[in-house]
Structure 1
Amino acid sequence: MEEIILSVKNLNKSFGNRQTLFDINFECQKGHIIGLVGANGAGKTTIMKAILSLIKSEGQITIDGQKTTFNHHPILQKVGALVEYPGIYPYLSGRDHLKLFVNDSKDSQERIQTIINDLKLNDCIDQRAKLYSLGMKQKLGIAMALVNQPDLVILDEPMNGLDPQATKDLREMILKRRDQGLTVLISSHILGELQKLAEDLIVIDHEKVIKRTTMNELLASNQHFIVIKTSDDTKAQELLEVVGFKTVSQSPLRFALTEKNTVERLMNILMKQQINVTDLQHEDADLEESILQLIAE
């Protein structure tokens, strides 16, 4: 049985008379990347702040076997985090920021240089942070979260402001550190990137957990589609809709597949009407479509 590094039980939070979290329950396995997914305002950032003891909340949060509360949280020394915006001092260089955050030890300078190299910060690391772009500040915030080699890191929208190359570099670094034992709880509205990273998913909607699953299980349960081009797309669509095929898009023709409405049945119908299929491709719904369907349900 895999070790649990983070356990959240019956987490509730209210701001005044408004309750913003309702009985949140989930666990994170050590060495996994866990995606926290939901619309803006669903409660993702509030959950992260509660785990990090940045806000008072009700319920029980346990990290690596130790309970943590708003008033007592020594275990957070083993946790790195970037929530909302990185705390940047404009007149300090990036390297100075890392020196401030790094735990004092024999290998502290080596850890600083490793994270600089991993995030490709060498060109700007000795500049004052006030000269940094949004993406550079974001990368510095991620570096500060990881420089102490935590057991658990919590990242709230870490891809914000990153260009495609920086996003790829970050993804590769997270996967490499996962392989070394790091656990990552990550939220991102860029679901295509999250699909490449996360093994487990926690879906939040209206301040409640509506689904706990794995990425593989969710994608395996997806709707399947077929995209076709024919010698007469208009007639093909009319024929297939009459017998129950659901048209998802018209240009190109895209149909949902079911146990009844299979590729074989589609081909037989079109061949009998002498409509030639000139191209055929299979498609599966991606993470975005899966999440939207879950929320809609």
Structure 2
Amino acid sequence: MFSFSTAFFASTLAAGILASPAAAPSALTKRNTPNSSGTNNGFFYQFWDDGSSGTTTYTNGPAGEYSVNWQNVGDFTAGKGWSQAEPRNISFSGSVNCGGNFYLAVYTWSTQGENYILEDYGTYNPCSGGTSKGSLYSDGSEYQVCLVDRGNNYLQNWSVRQNKRTSGTVTTANHYNYYQSQGMNHNPLSSAVYQIVSTEGYGSSGSADITVSEASPSTSSSASTTSSTSPATTSSSSGTGASQWGQCGGIGWNGPTTCVSPYTCQQINPYYYQCL
């Protein structure tokens, strides 16, 4: 194992004054070149700290495992995954211990923007400050989808899981296809520098230990290789179907295949049907 650590003590920290966690998201900066990145036990790893305050220690473990500890940080991201972003079925397991702000997400970064498939988070929902793009159902939960403009045309796509978890499998194609259907294509996978399961902390202290792997289609809860057999204009008056803007079919989909009335299930592309 080997680890990377950063230590920064800003004047505000020395004075005992820290920005409140609730204010931290507005202070997040555009990601620049990582403090450190490379390969470890067959996985790509990335560790970045904004250098504003506190200490962060990142440690690579065996295979896809990593751990990170942070104290009074401004902002950092760290994790393991792949140097090439693809529509993978990504499994993760572990724990996050943080009483304040953190994100646990399948994360891609490029100079054009970021994609966050957010599986667990602390006290701040990033979509509370974004533009709503509807919702989709994937891997056993509804996801709130939004677009956040960080300024200077640097944009973030967010899928925020409503049933939070620190273990499971993410069918990333469901999210990437939904972004495309909503015109959220400013950060295509072809331009992403990496794809990782990231732990991020900001204005907080905590620790995490996460193990990452790629799941085969047969082990993913939303990775069936057959398309939905529902007609492309199916609706339901019983209230059991997907709501407006929700996903209702497509290759790799095992969620609702009808829509609540008066909406109908319409094909956006072979991978994504939506209630419109």
TM class by shorter-chain length? under 0.3
Higher helix share: 1
- Which structure would you say has the larger Rg? 1
TM-score by length of 2: 0.26
